[in-house]
Structure 1
Amino acid sequence: MKVINRSIDVITWTKDDGSIYPFKFRITEDSDERHTYNIDKILTIDEDKILGKPIYKYTCLIQMSNIQKICEIRYHKDTMKWSLFKV
């Protein structure tokens, strides 16, 4: 997987216990072109800390150019922001 680490917009659903699940995300390229990807399946959800700050790491399957790819998106709990970390 290639490291991208770009900010993304994410649509999620939340269970009654507070668990967050990403449903689809949108990324804006350098050319201001936007791409939206549905998350076909969440493979893993891990809690971690980066520089002492808590994050959730989601390893997911997405369709990109008609090819199924694995990506890692991250939710930064302290800033409540999402990023596409790897594809």
Structure 2
Amino acid sequence: MKIVAKPIDVLAKFNKEGVPTPIKFKIVGEAEAEVAIKVDRVLTRELEKLAGNKMFIFRCQSAINGVEKVYELKYGLETCKWMLFKI
């Protein structure tokens, strides 16, 4: 997987404890067009503490342009921001 580290817009649902689950996200493609990608499966969810910042790391799988790809999304608990980290 290649590290991308781009901020993204995510549609997510939260459980009663406040733990998010991504449903779909938007990313700006090569032609400066927004591409919406549906999260087909969340493979793993981990809580990471890096430099004092707590983040959820989601390893997900989706069909992107007809090809099944595995990628990582990160959600910062203090900042409430999403990032496409690896694809």
TM, length-normalised to structure 2:
0.92
Counterparts of residues 54-65 of structure 1 (less than 5 Å): 54-65=54-65
Q: Distance in 1 between matches of 2:70 and 2:62?
A: 6
Aligned residues: 87
Aligned-pair identity in percent equals 29
* Aligned alpha-carbon RMSD (Å): 1.2
Indicate the residue corresponding to 1:21 in structure 2: 21
Unaligned runs of 5+ in 1: none
Instruction: Specify the code of the residue in structure 1 equivalent to 2:20.
Output: I
| Structure 1 stretches of at least 4 aligned residues deviating more than 3 Å after TM superposition | none
Which runs of no fewer than 5 residues in structure 2 stay unpaired?
Answer: none
Q: Secondary structure at the match of 1:74?
A: strand
- Whichever residue aligns with residue 6 of structure 2, its letter is R
TM-score scaled by structure 1? 0.92
